[in-house]
Structure 1
Amino acid sequence: MRSFVLLRILIIFLGMVAAVMLIPLALAVVNGEGSMVLAIGIPAGIVIAAALPAFFSFRKDRPRFRPRDGFLLVFLTWILMSLLGTMPFFFSGHGLSFTDAFFESACGFATTGATTITNVEALPKSLLLWRSMSHWIGGMGIVLLTVALMPLLGVGSFQLVKAEAPGTDKERITPRITDTAKLLWICYCVLTAVLAILFRLGGMDWLDAICHSFTTMASGGISTKNAGLSWYNSAFIDIVSIVFMLLAGLNFNLYYRLLRGKFKDVINNTEGRAYLLIFIIAAALVTITLVPVYGSVGSALRYGAFQTASVLSTTGSVITDYTLWPAVTQGILFCLMFVGGCSASTAGGIKVIRHVVLWKQTGNELRRILYPQGVFGIQLNKKVGRKDVVYGVAGFVFLYAAVVAFTTLAGAVSGLDIFSAFSTAVAVLCNIGTGFGAIGPGRNFSLFPDYLKWVYSFAMIAGRLELWTVLVLFTPEYWRR
């Protein structure tokens, strides 16, 4: 009975994704893209037909499931919706193998700016839209969307959000988790709409503006152009992108507090302040090192701030070949790859809050050497933090390092040099998508062996779900009654 309940909920989740696919399907019909009508319409129609009975069955009863089932449900959702998203790529008629098609789909839902496609501009417009929409859906999370639209899941919904949403702690900003999910999605949609309008004012056509707003707010970083945002060569577009990449990397709960006039909560937010401070310091250092390269502070600030915001927010957008920059500049960007955005944001990575916790705990350990009998704690948001948060963060960082090591080894086995293997492992696990060496600017994942693409696909999904949600399923304790 429990398995049947999970299956019904899983089908509903996939039905939500299939319903979104109707938008690029409509574009394919309008543009007369016959192959894409079939590539999108058939899988979407099959899933919707299966989801409708499951949806209406919930109106008769409200089944419950155990909190631990949320981990399995979320993991299966991301795997199966990646498989569903594979179909438009695989059947598009553009020569993508099933492995490459799944990789593209996993990149989308994991909001990783990686690709195996060498000529993006040759793709049909409907496929470009679906490619960008998969990033946008994955940015806030399909589970969070479903919880927002379906209070039918009852008490189990908070467990699903905890399993899917990133960060060290998940809080309810409203008494009901469904209301919280709705507010977060409203903020997400409003910011995306504003960004699309600004991109349109900057010279993009509506399709490009919408696609780039989807991927920028999702911290995805892919583009409808082979050259990315550099194709437009627009300072206005670059500046707008910097602002919204940073906004996407902030904790979305802060936007709700701003709307409610709780400015003190926003100002006292430890993670938000640290995130902006890291950006300001890193952007300043990068700009200083680039002044001799570009010959002016303005150009150095434009390119330096863009790449700093792109890496920090794990967006992965590129407007210049930063591997030609001075070694110290590349070193700063490389270090930022290990930081990530804020918790409860669309950004990936380790997350700023974990770095803050470890930094504060390091200070405590240094003080403990001087004062062995002292009692020291950490403060977050002007409040005393729980001691178990430190243990959780330490365990997570160790696990992250272990997965990076395994993924690096997998890349090295394929023949990558050790630096490229390490940079790629960090780029996929942190959902950045671009890095150094074999995946530097102008390069992609098309030449990697198929087995490595599957490893990287799993790493992207695991990184998007914060590792715990995925790896807990591989422990014997999880499957014990």
Structure 2
Amino acid sequence: MDFRAVVLPIGRYLVIIAAAMLIPAFADLAAGNPDWKVFAVSALCIGGAGLMVEAGLSGPTPDLKSRETFLLVNLAWFAFSGACAVPLWASGLHISYTDAFFEAASGLTTTGSTVLSGLDDLPPGILLWRSLTQWIGGLGIVVIGILLLPAMRIGGQQLFSIESSEKHVKPYGRVEHFVRRLLSLYLLITVACASLYFMAGMTAFEAINHAFTTVSTGGFSTRDSSMGGFDSLVIDWIAIAFMAISSLPFLFLINLAEGRRQLELQQVTWFFALAGVLTLIIFAVTRVNTGQGDFAQFTHAVFNVVSVMSTTGYATQDYLLWGSFALSFFFLITFIGGCNGSTAGGFKIFRIIILLSFIRSRLRLAVRPNRVSPAYFEGEIVRPSTIDSLLIFSILYAATAAIFGLVYAAFGLDFETALSASITALANVGPGIGPVIGPSGNFSSLPDMVKWLLSLEMILGRLEIIGGILILTPDFWRE
């Protein structure tokens, strides 16, 4: 194990995080808020630590092998969450480091769960830092999802390797070239989103913050009432559009922007089809239960379905007030998630497609045992090894959600809160179900140990579970 290959990149990226802290420092300085000093000192300390790591491990850039990659991705999530928590902990919020770490982990993983209230009155630096952690985290998630997880062959991700597949190598060439393309597109979508928010009535500061958290499908807001605080159908539809766009594979978006042959169309089609069907279901049931069936209610239905499916977690209304069906409905769609290679979390659309195709093939074989009936994805046969990987992931996903839910219940949480907290953390959605952690609540009242475990679960969700479990096995450390 080459630990230098693991620690050196973490040191370099800590310097980038420290530089990002100067942005909220300037925002607070311009507003006359004393917390600018907190961000400046935090940037100095964390940036200094990163530079010390670089200086101490200077030399040729080491090669990352499989084990080093696994360990790097794991340690990076915890190291960066710990670093991003420092200014929140030292600021005028007067929160514990537990709460600060939870908020930072929720930001970087783009989960969007929060322990903070009174957002409307918080200083601009804190609000901007929360939004920045989600924007930075969203970009990192796409890079990890496209470049690293497929190479790790986790949960069927090997289908999306851009280095082993000829159809991807030709358009994108070297990894550095692809990352530049990705960053350019990510910035372009963010600027477009912020511009439209501003034209729709948000202030420039609100537009920038919400663009950061929309494009990253993170869901942090500058208001306690989230998007509902703006009371604007135009803003709602802008958010719907960009939440949906950010839930699509970024490889697909790059192809679309550059006029190349479209890839991964099946995921895109299924995402919009599922969103459309689910919207019609919840709108129809809500109309029957509440008698509300105007365009505004339809907008709320579309918004909340896309918000949960994209794992953004914004809210225009507390959908738990729509009746008992809505509670069960949104609880179930928390599992779905967006497309692979996007900023969205969750189980992912491609896994649903392959599992359904696999079930169909097994049913056909039950009727005609001699028939060859493989599972398909994007018109190609899915290898048995990929199916095995996906089935293992599915079992671990369900088991992880259940086990963590039981642990939370052991700490005194009611069943509804415990299970929904576990699922929303693992799927990186944000709000849970029920009066405590639902769209109108937050996570501040939960025990500290539960917050630490939820932070771990958020990170496990972004590590696709297996990536986090593997480093705990003896075989991983055996030379």
Identify the TM-score tier after normalising by the shorter chain: over 0.9
Q: What is the correspondence of 1:95-244 to structure 2 with a 5 Å cutoff?
A: 95-141=94-140, 144=143, 158-159=147-148, 162=151, 168-169=157-158, 170-172=160-162, 173=168, 174-244=172-242
Q: Tell me, which stretches of 5 or more residues in structure 1 are unaligned? A: 148-156
CA distance in structure 2 between the aligned counterparts of 1:106 and 1:272, rounded to whole angstroms = 28
- Paired AA for residue 360 in structure 2: G
Within the candidate set 306, 314, 317, 1:317 is matched to 314
| Number of equivalences | 468
Within the candidate set 281, 286, 291, 1:285 is matched to 281
Q: What is the correspondence of 1:230-309 to structure 2 with a 5 Å cutoff?
A: 230-263=228-261, 265-266=262-263, 269-292=265-288, 293=290, 295-309=292-306
Cα deviation 1:203-256 (Å, max 9, x = unaligned)? 111111011111111111111011111111000000111111111111111011
Q: What is the correspondence of 1:292-441 to structure 2 with a 5 Å cutoff?
A: 292=288, 293=290, 295-437=292-434, 438-441=436-439
Q: Compared with structure 1, are the counterparts of its residues 165 and 194 closer, same or farther at alpha carbon in structure 2 (3 Å cutoff)?
A: farther
Do the aligned partners of 2:115 and 2:444 also contact (CA within 8 Å) in 1?
yes
Cα deviation 1:96-141 (Å, max 9, x = unaligned)? 1111111111110011121111211232101100000001111121
TM-align CA RMSD: 2.3
1:259 offset after TM fit, Å?
2.2
- Paired AA for residue 15 in structure 2: G
SS of alignment partner, residue 23 of structure 2: helix
1:279 offset after TM fit, Å?
0.5
CA distance in structure 1 between the aligned counterparts of 2:299 and 2:153, rounded to whole angstroms = 35
CA distance in structure 2 between the aligned counterparts of 1:165 and 1:14, rounded to whole angstroms = 27
Q: Compared with structure 1, are the counterparts of its residues 41 and 162 closer, same or farther at alpha carbon in structure 2 (3 Å cutoff)?
A: farther
1:286 offset after TM fit, Å?
1.4
Do the aligned partners of 1:167 and 1:343 also contact (CA within 8 Å) in 2?
no
1:282 offset after TM fit, Å?
0.4
- Paired AA for residue 281 in structure 1: V
Q: Compared with structure 1, are the counterparts of its residues 104 and 465 closer, same or farther at alpha carbon in structure 2 (3 Å cutoff)?
A: same
Q: Tell me, which stretches of 5 or more residues in structure 2 are unaligned? A: 163-167
Structure 1 position 466 matched with structure 2 position 455: no
Equivalent residue, structure 1, for 2:165: none
1:479 offset after TM fit, Å?
0.6
CA distance in structure 2 between the aligned counterparts of 1:418 and 1:41, rounded to whole angstroms = 43
CA distance in structure 1 between the aligned counterparts of 2:335 and 2:260, rounded to whole angstroms = 31
1:331 offset after TM fit, Å?
2.8
CA distance in structure 2 between the aligned counterparts of 1:185 and 1:280, rounded to whole angstroms = 30
Cα deviation 1:318-375 (Å, max 9, x = unaligned)? 1111111133333332221111111011001110111111100000110010111222
Q: Compared with structure 1, are the counterparts of its residues 198 and 459 closer, same or farther at alpha carbon in structure 2 (3 Å cutoff)?
A: same
CA distance in structure 2 between the aligned counterparts of 1:347 and 1:433, rounded to whole angstroms = 12
Q: Compared with structure 1, are the counterparts of its residues 5 and 390 closer, same or farther at alpha carbon in structure 2 (3 Å cutoff)?
A: closer
Do the aligned partners of 1:163 and 1:465 also contact (CA within 8 Å) in 2?
no
State the TM-score, normalized to the length of structure 1: 0.92
Structure 1 position 77 matched with structure 2 position 73: no
CA distance in structure 1 between the aligned counterparts of 2:179 and 2:121, rounded to whole angstroms = 37
1:454 offset after TM fit, Å?
0.4
CA distance in structure 2 between the aligned counterparts of 1:362 and 1:209, rounded to whole angstroms = 45
CA distance in structure 2 between the aligned counterparts of 1:111 and 1:304, rounded to whole angstroms = 22
Do the aligned partners of 1:74 and 1:163 also contact (CA within 8 Å) in 2?
no
